[in-house]
Amino acid sequence: MKRRVVITGIGFYSPIGDNLADLRSNFEQMKSGVRTMHEWEVANGLNARIAGVVGQDDFSEIPRQYRRTMDRVAMMCALSLKRAVAQSGLSPSEVSSPRTGISFGSAMGGLETLFEYAEDVSHNSGFGRQNATAFLRFMSHTVAANLAVMFGIIGRNIPTSSACTASAQAIGTGYESIKYGMSDVMLVGGGEGLHYVEAGIFDSMGATAIGYNDNPQEASRPFDISRSGLVVSEGSGALVLEEYEHAKARGAVILGEVIGYATGCDGSHITLPSERGMESVMRDALNDAQLNSSDIGYINAHATATPKGDISESIAVHRVFGNATPISSIKGYTGHMFGGGGAFESIVSLMALNESFLPANKNLVEIDPACAPLDYIRAHRETPITAVMNNNFAFGGINTSIILKKI
């Protein structure tokens, strides 16, 4: 028997705020969290010295016994989850129950610790000075592992590490785990840290926005004809998913319902997006939700402002929705959070549902004529909607689509 899955708590850290009031205010004022990274001037040959930065450096509320094995990404996720659990009203015994699980992911794990570790080993030609906890801070499943210990999780623990779809797959995993009876509660989400090596990786691939080091707020330009690439960003997002009757029985406030999810693979190219694959995953999510495309009131696009990616995504969306459904990408405000994007953008989608607020595409001055004719949101809209789709796509042809519904 398929069970209903609802959201009872959220928490996040982003370059444009860590609460819904600041988030909406920054959207309304078209403020960007992208800034020039003067500290990256040590990196020779780095063209894009800009990034979306979270203004959070105090992690002292995490007990040291847990913090000592956490990189920044795990700490941001830990505080995000702490807020989400507090909002949900779950008791410690309910969190630490065999029927409560966790699924968290990131693209690169603790990349700050990893790069510092590698540099130190190389510089000193050995391991004599290395901290024994370093691996626990940078391993690919560092977020899921550390949060499971901190929150006393004894149910399922399913880490995800699929680049830009990591936290979207974590949400989907939690949704399916509850829907098909393996769990009653799932703590889900993900995040990403920040290091100039990450920027350099995408810089060397020709995928970053260049020419904006002195004008960082205009760098990320999804769907715009002058876009030149993505902007790397840090951030985190966490959601408490819960079986509907379980939430109702304990009197929880329900923020929304997850009614559809799909993930699929292009199986064609390691980096180039596939219109067929994107179209397929959106149709599968609609089928899972038992909705028609006309039932979706807003699409939160993946659109990272890469020249080819935005075009392919727009064409796939047009094949499924035509040109009637409002669509925007929030990466013009935040940059690309990679592993944290799916969770944070799902929270933004939830905000769109509950506040009837559809954020505009920032820096969309002239729509690229190569993009399909869609209803690109140019100015914020206050429009009541009942269902929203959040899409994320990753290298390796990994695609996800999540559908949320208002209760």
Within its chain, how far is the Cα of 336 from the centroid? 8
Catalytic residue among 164, 195, 246, 318: 164
| Cα–Cα distance, 31 to 88 (Å, whole number) | 30
Q: H/E element holding 6?
A: strand 5-13
Q: Whose CA is closest to 3, among 201, 258, 267, 225?
A: 258
Catalytic residue flag (residue 164): yes
Label the pairing between strands 185-192 and 100-105: parallel
Distance of CA 247 to the CA centre of its chain: 25
**In this structure, how many other beta carbons lie within 10 angstroms of the beta carbon of residue 126?**
10
As a whole number of angstroms, the distance between CA 240 and CA 245 comes to 15
Indicate which residue of 246, 318, 336, 371 is catalytic. 336
**Is the dihedral angle over the CA atoms 218, 223, 226, 227 positive or is it negative?**
positive
Per-position DSSP letters for 115-137, written without gaps between them = HHHHHHHHHHTSSTT--TTHHHH
Degrees, nearest 5: CA angle 206-349-8: 125
Answer yes or no: 336 catalytic.
yes
Residues near 364 by Cβ (< 8 Å), separated by ≥ 6? 221, 222, 223, 224, 332, 376, 378
Place of tokens 């906890």: 133
Q: Which tokens sit at 220?
A: 């990320």
Q: Which of 392, 399, 141, 177 is nearest to 274 (CA)?
A: 399
User: Closest by alpha carbon to 38, among 29, 50, 25?
Assistant: 50
CA atoms lying within 13 Å on the CB side of residue 248: 9
Residue 77 a catalytic site member: no
Q: Name the catalytic one among 195, 246, 302, 318.
A: 302
- Residue 162 to residue 139: CA distance in whole angstroms: 14
User: Which residues are annotated as catalytic?
Assistant: 164, 302, 336
